[in-house]
Amino acid sequence: MSEEIRAVHTDDAPGAIGPYNQAVACGDLLFCSGQIALDPKTMELVEGGVAEQAEQVLKNLRAVVEAGGSNMDRILRCTIFLTDMADFATVNEIYGRHFSGAKPSRACVAVRELPKSGLVEIDCIARLS
Task: Report the predicted TM-score, pTM, of the whole model to 2 decimal places.
Answer: 0.95
Supply the DSSP string of the chain, one letter for each residue. Answer: -PPPEEEE--TTSPPPSSSS-SEEEETTEEEEEEE-SB-TTT-SBPSSSHHHHHHHHHHHHHHHHHHTT--GGGEEEEEEEES-GGGHHHHHHHHHHT--SSPPEEEEEE-S--GGG-SEEEEEEEE--
**Structural domain range at position 41:** 5-127
Tell me the pLDDT tens digit for each residue of 90-126. 999 999 999 998 899 999 999 999 999 999 999 999 9
- Structural domain tally of the chain? 1
**What are the pLDDT digits (tens) for 30-47?**
999 999 999 999 999 999
Q: What is the CATH number of the domain that holds 63?
A: 3.30.1330.40
Whether residue 1 is predicted with pLDDT greater than 70 in this model: the reply is: no
Query: What percentage of the chain exceeds 90 in pLDDT?
Result: 93
